[in-house]
Amino acid sequence: MSLEAQYCAHNYLPLPVVLTRGEGVFVWDENGKKYLDMMSAYSAVSHGHAHPRLVSVVNKQVANLTIVSRAFHTDRLGPFLQRICQLTGQDMALPMNTGAEAVETAIKAARKWAYTVKGVTPGKVEIIACSGNFHGRTMAAVAMSDEPQYQDGFGPFPPGFRIVEYGSLDSLRAAINENTAALIIEPIQGEGGIVLPPPGYLKAAEMLCREHNVLLICDEIQTGLGRTGKLLACDHEGVKPDGLILGKALGGGILPVSMFLARREVMEVFTPGDHGSTFGGNPLAAAVGLEALNILIEDELAERSAERGDYLLRKLRRLDSPLIKEVRGRGLFIGIEIDPTVASAREICELLMVRGLLSKETHETVVRLAPPLVISEAEIDWAMVQITAVLTELEKVQLAS
């Protein structure tokens, strides 16, 4: 920690624990203390730490071929893209590495589609995003944000973005015009605090986009691949987006793998030289990504997430604590909103860490619970004991003061 403090940019405020090993739903610190991981690296470790099938694939692929760039074909990329396109119902995919890169890819695709297919006047295109969104840390993603800290000191920002109220169909309808290329939206907002829109909103937004020839692009970097109890969070309302952004769990918790998927009319706006990535779609990433998808389907992890998520949500909603304002979520994507006048989410996460449960606060007011999808009911029961104990401890402190 002292070396990080000295040599690493202070762009994170981690909990004071040094992790050295992981297996399944558990991680261990440098002193050998065991923790239940209820964070999953922001949904990236949905399969659990060091999944043996993924480790085996890594070892085999590293010994064969890892990176040659997209200057050449490889035997791993095609099967990977075929599998993910067939699973999601999209026509084509463009592989990248990080979620933020995939978001940038989606923005570029939407803009070029608007100019070359929809016929928007050059330089006039607009993309709609939602209040409270989080689409990454790049300049374009920050330009779409309405979080003051994400923008403070980093301007000027690229133009062409409009922000509407998340969950409000009237706000979306008022923002759409002849220059609108796309709506980029999270079906459930993760960094916003596990915020769900009103029932039926996403489906109504899809219909509105269809009516006005506007692309619906769903950012499922955190919510996708089983996290919410369906393969995709948009599946809960039967929504078929024109474009789909995936990342996090796509790399099986092993390495960064992301991609933008879309219907053919959208993806074919790209020609050689328009866009690229030296590492995107490399053989190692493709091999790991394909096995991660196979595990997801064969082990029914989305179904497990639905069952375990319902189990955890029921238990959390039974808690009677003055510290809790609301419990919300879907599948194993859950937020406990804390009353900031009583306690901070950071304080709760620190006390949970002492008890061997790792989570992380969001905006100081929400404790996020998003464990690996392989978590058992017994492990959830143990987590509930720790959460209940911490809430009780803080309630006593408040009464004493």
Residues with a catalytic annotation lie at 134, 219, 248
Q: Which of 300, 326, 308, 331 is nearest to 384 (CA)?
A: 308
The answer to whether the beta carbons of residues 302 and 229 sit under 8 Å apart is yes
Cis peptide before 283 (omega within 30 of 0): no
Distance of CA 45 to the CA centre of its chain: 11
Number of C-alpha atoms within 13 angstroms, CB side, residue 102?
31
DSSP character at residue 338: E
Angle subtended at Cα 153 by Cα 148 and Cα 154, rounded to the nearest 5 degrees: 90
Side-by-side strand order, sheet with 360-362: 324-330, 333-338, 366-369, 360-362
In 3-state terms, the chain is what percent helix, strand and coil (to 5)? Answer: 40, 20, 40
209 burial via Cβ count (<10 Å: 0-12, 13-18, 19+): buried
CA–CA distance, 335 with 331 (Å, rounded to integer): 11
- Amino acid identity of residue 327, one-letter, is V
Collect all residues with Cβ–Cβ distance below 8 Å to 194 and sequence separation of at least 6: 188, 328, 329, 333, 334, 335, 362, 366, 368
What is d(CA 149, CA 161) in angstroms, rounded to the nearest whole number? 18
Q: Is-contact 327 369, C-beta < 8 A?
A: no
Q: Which residues neighbour 205 within 8 Å (Cβ) at sequence distance 6 or greater?
A: 169, 172, 183, 185, 216
Beta strands in 237-365 (DSSP E): 243-246, 258-262, 324-330, 333-338, 357-358, 360-362
- Nearest CA to 67 among 101, 97, 47, 98? 97
